[in-house]
Structure 1
């Protein structure tokens, strides 16, 4: 099975979550999958993959809320339309990280207004658990023994 995990973001935090999801999928699927983690802008075709888009199995994730408690409290993106268009089986929002040195002026202003401290608020066990749920949905009835690995695209 070939799985694509595509991610887009400005500051690298979402990319790191995508990489962790890729590693967790390979681990959970115990060698029955090849996972490619790629930047969304670099994906030109999905024909070679078994899990990605509408005719395939799709899951969406977002990252962004930061701080304790996470701010903003609401989902940073309205994904209802995107889920409908993509036929996604689910969507989850993971907390992100803040590094003001990577932010644009407007972004720094928002973070300051929200009174969020710099820090990594990502919940790696939650990321791996979600990837485990996706892997469980992708597992064939009988897992084939092949070597699995993560490819970086």
Structure 2
């Protein structure tokens, strides 16, 4: 890894596209810092061999990471443990993620420990009209939807990752 520009994967699990937009924002910041980056749906990644570092994100649903993010981490765990790794979650439909650090849900915390991840952050979520799913419809009908993503916070976090990878020579 050292001495060459590596390739970074930003893999994500999303239902309605909100987490994908966060992943793309992370990838854009890493690219601006000179890194080669691919942002892909977690379910579409078949091999980790092209990547030297990984960011994995998942939407939160009922206190669990999106199933595609969970499956990705299980499927590629051994390889992920050998690379610089960060996680993010997207979910709270209120301002809480912008106001304080929200710890990872238990399943993500366990994966972080097992894979020696460098960090995790929870970003606000987004649930807007047209979202798929019965539960999403209930939340929207109760007036609890909206876009609570803070792209300034997202970009600052991605900038810190870019700095760490640049220092390592990834």
Report what 2:113 is aligned to.
84
User: How far has the Cα of 1:40 moved from its partner?
Assistant: 0.2
Using the alignment, how far apart are the partners of 2:82 and 2:111 within structure 1?
15
The answer on 1:13 being equivalent to 2:13 is no
Flag as ranges the 4+ runs of structure 1 deviating above 3 A: 73-76, 110-113, 140-143
Report what 1:149 is aligned to.
none
User: How far has the Cα of 1:132 moved from its partner?
Assistant: 0.5
The TM-score normalised by the length of structure 2 is: 0.71
Change (3 A) 1:103 1:60: same
Using the alignment, how far apart are the partners of 1:4 and 1:94 within structure 2?
19
Q: State how many pairs are aligned.
A: 136
Structure 1: gaps of 5 or more residues: 144-153
Structure 2: gaps of 5 or more residues: 1-5, 55-79
User: How far has the Cα of 1:43 moved from its partner?
Assistant: 0.5
Choose from 109, 134, 137 the match for 2:138: 109
Using the alignment, how far apart are the partners of 1:141 and 1:104 within structure 2?
42
Q: Which protein is richer in strand relative to its size?
A: 2
* Contact 2:131 2:137 (8 Å CA) reproduced: no
The TM-score normalised by the length of structure 1 is: 0.78
Change (3 A) 1:17 1:141: closer
Q: Which protein is richer in helix relative to its size?
A: 2
Pairing of 1:17-96 with structure 2 (within 5 A): 17-27=22-32, 29=33, 31=34, 33-52=35-54, 53-69=80-96, 77-78=105-106, 79-96=108-125
